[in-house]
Amino acid sequence: MIETTIQNWHKYVRGDLPGGLDQLLHDDVVFYSPVVFTPQKGKAITSLYLQAAAGTLNEPSQEDPGVSDTAVGSSEQTGSFRYVSEVMSGNTAVLEFETTIDGKYVDGIDMITCDQDGKIIEFKVMVRPLQAVHAIHQAMQKMLEQLGS
Amino acid sequence: MIETTIQNWHKYVRGDLPGGLDQLLHDDVVFYSPVVFTPQKGKAITSLYLQAAAGTLNEPSQEDPGVSDTAVGSSEQTGSFRYVSEVMSGNTAVLEFETTIDGKYVDGIDMITCDQDGKIIEFKVMVRPLQAVHAIHQAMQKMLEQLGS
């Protein structure tokens, strides 16, 4: 079940999923931030966080300094963000990623759980090391202020 | 392949694996801390970190205040530490856990990779939220000083 959901997630990250997050997320999805304790509940706030995360994590790579497109759809092509491994079983997938934020190396996971219809009901992010959590904290605050204003 | 390794890991955590970490870990295993960037290479230093983590994460639960045993073998019975979910495929498993350190809620994962013989070749830990990373940072430093002295 989770396999199809993850295929669609990768399509979304590439900008190839017509229905976007609205199609992927359950109405009652819960987002767990790597920084903040409080779970974020519902499709609207989770979409906001995932868009902020896409903008934050998708810092243009140093090999490609001319590209500054931070749109959701371009992270796998132009930014430093890349998925490096996947583990899936049952209704849960763990996608490991690497990226760079403010020059700081970030090693993290997206832990994604879907319901019986393949809709994402839980999206949890963890990152290491400590300096990566700090870098994400600062960058996410800026990005959420921009998206929310 | 990873399933047998994880069965043995749980036996170890319960104190039920006669060979202990020496049997579980590959000589060239690499440990990735949730706090520190630098990978820790080799069986000796990885064993030290895993023992420190067991002591750190295994804070006695508040429901059981009389028990203060922080030995490796007792975490699943007496401490606040508990595994809450598992995802496995190929040579990798992701075990999610919850615990409390210094009164702070910790949500984390052990990402464990084994070789063709079932020996653990990589052990990576990530935790959320930010206050949990700080709590682990402080507790691990104390524990490593005690184990190393």
- At A25-46, the pLDDT tens digits run 999 999 999 999 999 999 999 9
Q: Quote the pLDDT of residue B1.
A: 84
B33 lies within 8 A of chain A by CB:
yes
Q: Which two tokens stand for residue B59?
A: 């804070």
Are residues B105 and A37, on separate chains, in Cβ contact within 8 Å?
A: yes
Dmax of chain B from CA atoms? 43
Q: Quote the pLDDT of residue A145.
A: 82
Q: Quote the pLDDT of residue B66.
A: 44
Give chain B positions within 8 Å (CB) of A121.
none
Q: Which residues neighbour A141 within 8 Å (Cβ) at sequence distance 6 or greater?
A: none
Q: Quote the pLDDT of residue A134.
A: 95
Are residues B128 and A126, on separate chains, in Cβ contact within 8 Å?
A: yes
C-beta of residue B144 within 8 angstroms of C-beta of residue B52: yes
A–B: how many Cβ contacts below 8 A?
Answer: 88
Looking up tokens 């966080």 gives A49
Instruction: Tell me the pTM.
Output: 0.87
Q: What is the pLDDT along chain B (149 residues), one digit of tens a residue?
A: 899 999 999 999 988 999 999 999 999 999 999 999 999 999 999 999 998 887 777 766 555 444 444 444 444 444 689 999 999 999 999 999 999 998 999 999 999 999 999 999 999 999 999 999 999 999 888 887 887 76
B32 lies within 8 A of chain A by CB:
yes
**Which of B35, B89, B134 lies nearest to residue A129, judging by beta carbons?**
B35
B40 lies within 8 A of chain A by CB:
no
Name the residue with higher pLDDT: A90 or B146: A90
Candidate ranges A48-52, A56-60, A72-76, A118-122; pick with highest mean pLDDT:
A118-122
A30 lies within 8 A of chain B by CB:
no
The complex's ipTM works out to 0.86
Phi, psi of B62, deg, nearest 5: -70, -25
